A and B are shown apart, each in its own frame.
Chain A
Amino acid sequence: VKKVAEIALGVIAAFGGFADIGELVFNVQAGAQFRYQLLWTVVIGVVGIVLFAEMCGRVAMVTKRPVFDAIRDRFGVGVGGIALIGSLAINLLTVCAEVGGVALILQIYFQAVPFRILLLGAAAGLVILTWVLPFPFIERLFGYLGMFLIVFIVAAVHVHPNWGDVASGFVPHWQTGQNTVIYWYFAVGVIAAALIPYEVYFYSSGAVEEGWKPEEDLIVNKGNAFLGFGLGGVISVALIVVSAVLFFPRQIEPDFIGTTALAANVPLGADGLLFAFLGMLFAVGGAAVESALSGAYCLCQFFGWEWGKYRRPAGAPRFTLAWVIFFLLALIVILSGANPILITEYAVILSVVALPMTYLPILLMARDRNYMGEYANGKLADFMGWLYLVIISIVALAAVPLLFASTHGAG
Chain B
Amino acid sequence: MDCSSVNPRRLIGGSLLLTTALAFAATGCGSLDKDAVSTKLGEASSAAEEGALLAHEDATGATAVPFVAIHSAELHKVAGNAAEALSGLVGDPYRPAAHEGSGLARRVEAQLEDLHLSPDDPTTAARVETKLLALASQLSDLESKL
**What residues make up the interface of A, taking CB atoms closer than 8 Å to B?**
72-73, 76-77, 81, 84-86, 88-89, 92-93, 96, 107-112, 246-247, 250-253, 255-256, 258-259, 261-262, 265-266, 269-270, 273-274, 299, 302-304, 329, 333, 338-339, 342-343, 345-346, 350, 407-408, 410-411
Contacts and interface: CB of A to CB of B under 8 A. Distances in A.
A251 B26 contact: no
A20 B140 CA distance: 33
A258 B63 contact: no
Given A92-B15, A109-B66, A253 B43 contact: yes
Contacts, number: 136
A114 to B, nearest CB: 12
A77 B7 CA distance: 11
Contacts of B27: 342
A266 B60 CA distance: 11
A346 B30 CA distance: 18
A407 B62 contact: no
Nearest to B71: A258
A243 B39 CA distance: 20
B108 interface: no
Interface residues of B, number: 45
A246 B54 CA distance: 12
B69 A89 contact: no
Contact of B63 (A250, A256, A265, A410): A265
Interface in B5-42: 5-6, 8, 11-12, 14-16, 18-19, 22-23, 25-28, 30, 35, 39, 42
Interface string B54-83: 100100011110110111001100100000
Given A265-B57, A333-B19, A333-B23, 5 more contacts: A252-B49, A258-B74, A265-B62, A273-B63, A342-B26
A142 to B, nearest CB: 23
Interface of B: 1-3, 5-6, 8, 11-12, 14-16, 18-19, 22-23, 25-28, 30, 35, 39, 42-43, 45-46, 49-50, 53-54, 57, 61-64, 66-67, 69-71, 74-75, 78, 136, 140
5 contacts: A111-B70, A252-B46, A256-B74, A258-B71, A261-B71
A282 B50 CA distance: 25
Contacts of B70: 107-108, 111, 258
A108 B1 contact: no
B71 A93 contact: no
